[in-house]
Amino acid sequence: MKKNLYYIEIEKSREIIANANKIALIPHFGPDGDAMGACLALNNLFEKIGKQSVVVTPNDYPDNLKWLPGNGRVVISTDDKQKAADVINTCDLVFILDHNALRRSGDLEDVLQELDAKFILIDHHLNPELDADVTISRPFKSSTCEMVYDFINDIGYGDKIDKDIATCIYSGIVTDTGNLCHNSSNAATYHIIAELMDRGMDKELVHEELYNNFNLSRIELMGYIFNNKMELIEDGKVAIISLTNEEKKKYNYNDGDIEGFANIPLSISTVKICVLFTEKDNLVKMSFRSKKGYPVNFLAAEHFNGGGHENASGGRTYKKLSGAIKHLKDKITNYI
């Protein structure tokens, strides 16, 4: 019988992992719940099976992810660039998780480019750019964490999935789907969640840690933004919200504080697309969110140097905030 491509990649992975002495797990720049969940799930697995492994992040990530099992051993490159480089340079296997191009690995890009090691890529974004030894790319999956669950099972370590690993995997699934709102209409996802609960994952604890763990200033910022900064255009079909550097300062903004804000306007019945503009240093970052039937990944790719998923994409521009918003207003008509 002809084996399908996925199983060839799985067999290769098995061999590469067996031969690896030290493994680095790399999330994308600005790690989110899915990226950190995937890295920590695999890190916990590798430690459990007696492999040396380490998670190295390009930069810091939100506090509500810092309770994840194994977080204490994460190396953050922006805290200690030399240490991050030294650690990666001792590894002979690298997992690129929840992204598919080294340019999304932030400052770690140069170190990774130069590294003589095997690369395994597991990701659910479109069009992988990295030429890895193993590429597992499944854009139709809810999350990289769901893929990591399958991967662990398929390489033969399914019985090693314990409470800690299950907790990391579930955290990625639930954050990447907006609490199972989008990209999650596949029964397989729920079979996996049931299995994770059987392994001891405490769903209520995960939700408590992820969502009831913010500081007051985030809620004040949320109130300010939706009261003062939200604009509805195109007969209420498109919501625009924005945040300036000055406003960030005023509300003691920390990375991750606006996580989830772009989804909120979608709860208005007329709104099909929401775009959040955030000033960041000298550029403007955009988060695009939409309802089913209103893909935003093309809009992000064609006009804002970005891309992503059909209903959740990102982009960036060096235009000023007002110019970026005007650009969106000029282009959006073709996408609704």
We find the least distance from the C-beta atom of residue 138 to Mn ion, in angstroms, to be 11
Tell me: does residue 259 bind Mn ion (CB under 5 A): no
Tokens representing residue 183 in the block: 């990209």
Residue closer to Mn ion (CB basis): 122 or 161: 122
Q: Of all residues in this chain, which one has the CB nearest to Mn ion in the complex? A: 34
Tell me: does residue 9 bind Mn ion (CB under 5 A): no
| Number of residues forming the site for Mn ion (CB under 5 A) | 4
Question: Which strand ranges, in their side-by-side order, compose the sheet holding 118-123?
Answer: 75-76, 52-57, 22-26, 93-97, 118-123, 134-137
We find the least distance from the C-beta atom of residue 137 to Mn ion, in angstroms, to be 12
Site string for Mn ion, 265-304 (x = CB under 5 A): ----------------------------------------
Residue 92 CA: distances (Å) to CA of 4, 54, 139, 146: 27, 12, 27, 25
Q: Which stretch binds Mn ion (CB under 5 A): 27-35, 190-198, 252-260, 293-301?
A: 27-35
Residue 32 CA: distances (Å) to CA of 20, 50, 58, 264, 271: 27, 27, 12, 18, 25
We find the least distance from the C-beta atom of residue 34 to Mn ion, in angstroms, to be 3
We find the least distance from the C-beta atom of residue 128 to Mn ion, in angstroms, to be 14
- Residue 101: strand, helix, or coil: coil
Site string for Mn ion, 34-73 (x = CB under 5 A): x---------------------------------------
Rounded CA gap, 306 and 317, in Å? 9
Q: Map the footprint of Mn ion across residues 173-202, applying CB under 5 A.
A: 176
- Residue 173: strand, helix, or coil: helix
Residues 262, 241: contact at Cβ < 8 Å? yes
CA 322, 306, 261: angle at the middle one, nearest 5? 65
Q: Which stretch binds Mn ion (CB under 5 A): 28-36, 105-113, 216-224, 292-300?
A: 28-36
We find the least distance from the C-beta atom of residue 129 to Mn ion, in angstroms, to be 16
Q: Which stretch binds Mn ion (CB under 5 A): 170-178, 181-189, 267-275, 293-301?
A: 170-178
We find the least distance from the C-beta atom of residue 123 to Mn ion, in angstroms, to be 8
Residue closer to Mn ion (CB basis): 32 or 279: 32
**Residue at token pair 């990102």:** 314
Tokens representing residue 41 in the block: 């799930």
Tokens representing residue 164 in the block: 């800690």
Tell me: does residue 98 bind Mn ion (CB under 5 A): yes
Site string for Mn ion, 133-162 (x = CB under 5 A): -----------x------------------
We find the least distance from the C-beta atom of residue 165 to Mn ion, in angstroms, to be 17
Q: Which stretch binds Mn ion (CB under 5 A): 48-56, 168-176, 240-248, 301-309?
A: 168-176
Residues 34, 98: contact at Cβ < 8 Å? yes
For 203-231, give one letter per residue: b (16+ CB within 10 A) or e.
Answer: eeebeebbeeebeeebeebbeebeeebbe
**Residue at token pair 């992975």:** 13
* Residue ranges in contact with Mn ion by CB under 5 A: 34, 98, 144, 176
